[in-house]
Amino acid sequence: MRRILVANPKGGSGKSTLAVHLASWFARNDEIVYLGDMDRQLSSRYWLEARPAHLATIRHWDVSDEAFTAPPKNCSIAILDTPAGLHGKRLKHVLNEVDKVVVPVSPSRFDMLATSDFFEELANTKAVRKERVDIGIVGMRVDQRTHAYQQLREFLEQFDLPVITCISQSQRYLQAADTGITLFDNDASHTAVDSQWRPLLDWLVTRQ
Ligand SMILES: Nc1ncnc2c1ncn2[C@@H]1O[C@H](COP(=O)(O)OP(=O)(O)OP(=O)(O)O)[C@@H](O)[C@H]1O
Ligand SMILES: [Mg+2]
């Protein structure tokens, strides 16, 4: 089983968008996917309820914010969406339960600054120090050819963290949030998004 945490304490950074898209991609590739939502806003949970039944199955993984319940035995991919502001004990706790952490970061100066403390905290966590978990950054709503992307890279260099890929700004991510249908569920858009998502998908299935 692979266990993936999507986290960034900054609200609106793209955690739920990444979580539901990863879930649907793996589900389309015949994995048994469980999606958990630690956020009281229950974005992923409601998204899952809105998802049409004929699409590739994503199962609900029941995680309350008080206790962490392991994913069911038949699970092959567990994806955990997390709330803004996740830090301290709760962060440490979930880091012990996962293999990979995906951190969406927007290239806005405010967002980058808001993420600094989080990266420091991650770096000082035992699971990360002992290399039990891998951390990968996803530039969110950014194009790799832009100055904004260069700034994001320079910012991340100080933490020695890899930018796995960048996902560009698109209305289709907003639609996906409303409909329960991701860009991967739609064959027409599949190829177009593939080059942006592929490095992340490959990184997630690589063993440490
Ligand atoms: N690449 C993108 N292009 C366009 N819109 C996007 C993109 N990524 C995310 N969004 C939109 O930005 C908003 C915030 O994204 P999302 O809800 O995924 O962030 P979040 O980190 O989960 O927020 P919160 O901290 O509140 O849980 C949503 O409306 C989402 O549809
Ligand atoms: Mg969210």
Ligand sitting nearest the alpha carbon of 7: 1
Q: Report how far residue 136's alpha carbon sits from residue 204's, in angstroms, rounded to the nearest whole number.
A: 9
Atom nearest to 13 CA in ligand 1? 21
Across all residues in the chain, what is the average pLDDT? 91
Quick one: pLDDT at residue 42? 87
72 lines ligand 1 (CB under 6 A): no
- pLDDT tens readout for residues 19-76: 999 999 999 999 999 999 998 888 999 999 999 999 999 999 998 756 678 899 999 9
Rounded CA separation 124/133 (Å): 12
Q: Report the pLDDT value the prediction gives residue 202, as an integer from 0 to 100.
A: 95
Domains and CATH numbers, the chain: 2-205 (3.40.50.300)
Residues of the chain with pLDDT under 70: 65-67, 188-192, 208
